[in-house]
Structure 1
Amino acid sequence: MYLKALHLMQYRNYKSIDLEMSSGINVLLGENAQGKTNLIEAIYTLAMTKSHRTNNDKELISWGNDAAYISGELVRRQGKIPLSLQFISKGKVAKINHLEQSRLSHYIGQMNVILFAPEDLALVKGSPLARRQFIDRELGQLNPLYLHHSVSYKSLLKQRNAYLKQLNRKVATDKLYLTVLTEQLVKSASHILFMRYHFLKKLEGFAEPIHYKISDQKESLALRYVSGITITNEDTISTLYDRLLEKLKQHEKHDIERETTNYGPHRDDFSCIVNAIDIQKFGSQGQQRTTVLSLKLAEIELAYDATGEYPVLLLDDVLSELDDMRQTLLLKTIENRVQTFLTTTSITGIKKQLIVKPTIFTVSNGRIINGVCDIE
């Protein structure tokens, strides 16, 4: 798949732009604070219905305006698919083929994107939240059922935590209602745990040989899902439901005292094991960066395996953070296969032989000049 055209109106620092993009590598060239990352964000938002930089949609609307608009023409094997998002003060409107979608979950998954930014290089050594979001982003695009249960789980978790607070403060006393909330919560949680566990196993299958190659055949990578309950290959959704429900029942008193749910997918994590060592705790920066690159390249292959089409790749100023070897591997992997949007302040650091005739968009103060040329 690839994004053929993009239209923005009153989005961030763009008053109105229309772009025709290449199905290959598109370089967004310009100085800092000119709008390169805003373009990357707009493409990501068009796919996911929300920004990766802010949870406040109002920030996407240009100063002094009431609405922002993003639309694009996506090309997939079955044909062209018009996509559009409108952000207004009361919310957002998502359309596929010009038809408004009643739920955002029906929209997400039309265009698969993978974002790779400098902050992702801290994925391995960063917080568990970052790693949970890493899984959630990819699974949410590839599996509508996961997205459904994820939305349901977050809503039920909020309700349960609110009721735990009421019980602890003696505002409420009905334990039966807590039991109902817990059972509903665990129903969604068991699906999430099952899908996350098997997603990570599949990702490991793609990441391990990539990591072995990057490390010059010196390192073996394994991924381990870390949960408050035991999960194995033999587990079903039903067995996970029983196990987590029992765990929450055992810790119900503790949850009430703490006024929060202490076990479930919202507390889980995953570990990156290199040569039997947890590199989140003991790995070098080089090992951690190699692992992140392996995971990102594995994401591309996993998306292709799941959909039969390569996703759109967004590289936001990440090449400057990679050494020559890792930069070469990344660019060679995506060459002639994956539509890529790459931001940079200079093309002099990109080897000519790695990108042949890219489409180059020069970005300056919310304005764009595009053309096709060789890198000097």
Structure 2
Amino acid sequence: MLLFDVSTRAFRNLADARVELGRHTTVLFGSNGQGKTNFLEACHLLCTLRPLRAQKLAELVRIGSDQPALVRGRFELPGGVREVEVEVGREGRSARVDGKTVRDPDELFGGLATVAFTPDDVLVVKGGPEGRRKLLDRAAQNRHPAHLADARAYLRALRSRNELLRHQAAPELIASFDEPVAKLGASVRRRREGVLAELRPHAQQAFAEVARGEEPLTLAYLAAGRESDALAEGGASLEERLLEALRRRLPRDRERGYTSVGPHADDLGLLLGETQARTYASQGQSRAIVLAFKIGEIENLRAAQGRAPLLLLDDVSSELDPSRNAFLMRYLGGLDGQVVLTTTDPNLVAKSAVKEAVFQRVESGRIAPKNTLFSE
């Protein structure tokens, strides 16, 4: 996959313009608050139909604009050049491929695999389980585009069951949602565990290289009820065991008003040696863990799909110490794929081994080649 160019209109603070990307690396540099991250948002929206860091789609529309935000990009794919267009307005989001409407990312030629690394990602190491579940779900969706549809169907069934629990509905009515929750929950968990098993050796190797001398990294799937409800292992009988756990926990769930077992309550365990990273990892170790996980995801996609995903890196160099930044730059230099990264200091990239880098300066939402002078 190759993203040739990105055009925007009324998209946050970005000027209405078309920006050409390098075939390997595009470096967006400039002071903070100029629009670098907004451009990555546009790229991410094109590939996933979801924002990168914005909490709501409406935040992508330029303040004061009476037009919806529009992002358009041309992709080189095995079947030829295709155009993707995403519009975000008051009525929500709409997307088109070569002029034909699509609804979900898996309709974008089976999914446009994209791996993003932002400063916020470091927070998942010490934060709550939700962030780590999202990290794993994004990896599962990149590997299996249908994962998003299953996850959404699971959440719909779960919300319905929780609504009945909160209103103390009759047990038989609540039980009518047990089978769909168990079936869809087993599907979501199997995909998560499958992807984790695939990327784990790549991530562990990357961590060993980026964090020399540290204790080895362990990635483990931690299921709710793994001890009390025999849910530690997945396998063919997982759906049956989930169903039994839902029925066994019904009195407790009715009392508390929510479903206490299932993939929505699971976690991704991160350990350094024998210690929990969530409790003991330093800031530097946390960055190394997330970087290793992302590299593991990239290498897994390369192995499974025969090509690297689009890689979006937001000001990562400023988050890493010199040795880890040097490792990252060497890795990017050897990556046979497309990278778009932002930085406040282009020298962090110019001195690296990154090949064929195209430098674009960003100032007040305007993006142009490095030596361009912006007129007021």
- 1:145 pairs with 2:146: yes
Unaligned segments of structure 2, at least 5 residues: none
Which runs of structure 2 are paired with 1:130-209 in the superposition (5 Å)? 130-167=131-168, 172-173=169-170, 175-209=171-205
Tell me which amino acid in the other structure corresponds to 1:271: G
1:355 maps to what in 2?
A: 354
1:29 maps to what in 2?
A: 29
- 1:20 pairs with 2:20: yes
SS of 1:335's partner is: helix
TM-score, with structure 2 as normaliser: 0.91
- Inter-partner Cα distance in structure 2 for 1:152 and 1:99: 25
Q: Tell me whether 112-121 or 49-58 shows the greater mean CA deviation.
A: 49-58
- Inter-partner Cα distance in structure 2 for 1:214 and 1:353: 16
Which runs of structure 2 are paired with 1:1-376 in the superposition (5 Å)? 1-62=1-62, 63-107=64-108, 109-167=110-168, 172-173=169-170, 175-216=171-212, 219-230=215-226, 231=231, 235-236=235-236, 239-336=237-334, 337-350=336-349, 352-370=351-369
SS of 1:14's partner is: coil
- Report if aligned partners of 1:85, 1:93 keep a CA contact under 8 Å in 2: yes
Q: Tell me whether 262-271 or 206-215 shows the greater mean CA deviation.
A: 206-215
- Report if aligned partners of 1:109, 1:141 keep a CA contact under 8 Å in 2: no
TM-score, with structure 1 as normaliser: 0.91
- Report if aligned partners of 1:8, 1:16 keep a CA contact under 8 Å in 2: yes
1:350/1:129 CA distance change after superposition, 3 Å: same
Unaligned segments of structure 1, at least 5 residues: none
- Inter-partner Cα distance in structure 2 for 1:102 and 1:350: 37
Q: Tell me whether 103-112 or 15-24 shows the greater mean CA deviation.
A: 103-112
Tell me which amino acid in the other structure corresponds to 2:357: P
CA RMSD for the aligned pairs?
2.1
Residue 35 (structure 1) shift: 0.7
Residue 15 (structure 1) shift: 4.1
Residue 103 (structure 1) shift: 4.2
Residue 311 (structure 1) shift: 0.7
Tell me which amino acid in the other structure corresponds to 2:210: I
1:109/1:54 CA distance change after superposition, 3 Å: farther
SS of 2:307's partner is: coil
1:114/1:108 CA distance change after superposition, 3 Å: farther
Residue 33 (structure 1) shift: 1.1
**Which whole-Å deviations, capped at 9, do the CAs of 1:113-166 have from their partners, x for residues lacking one?**
111111212222222111111111121232133222101011111111111112
- Inter-partner Cα distance in structure 1 for 2:55 and 2:240: 34
Tell me which amino acid in the other structure corresponds to 2:51: S
**Which whole-Å deviations, capped at 9, do the CAs of 1:186-206 have from their partners, x for residues lacking one?**
110010111111211112121
- Inter-partner Cα distance in structure 1 for 2:144 and 2:105: 14
- Inter-partner Cα distance in structure 1 for 2:311 and 2:105: 22
1:48/1:26 CA distance change after superposition, 3 Å: same
- Inter-partner Cα distance in structure 2 for 1:223 and 1:103: 30
SS of 1:144's partner is: coil
Residue 281 (structure 1) shift: 2.1
Tell me which amino acid in the other structure corresponds to 1:355: V
Structure 1 runs of 4+ with >6 Å offset? none
**Which whole-Å deviations, capped at 9, do the CAs of 1:177-229 have from their partners, x for residues lacking one?**
21111211111001011111121111212112222222336532221101114
SS of 1:7's partner is: strand
Tell me which amino acid in the other structure corresponds to 1:49: L
1:268/1:315 CA distance change after superposition, 3 Å: same
**Which whole-Å deviations, capped at 9, do the CAs of 1:222-250 have from their partners, x for residues lacking one?**
211011143566712xx111111111111
Residue 365 (structure 1) shift: 1.0
Residue 88 (structure 1) shift: 2.1
- Inter-partner Cα distance in structure 2 for 1:129 and 1:234: 20
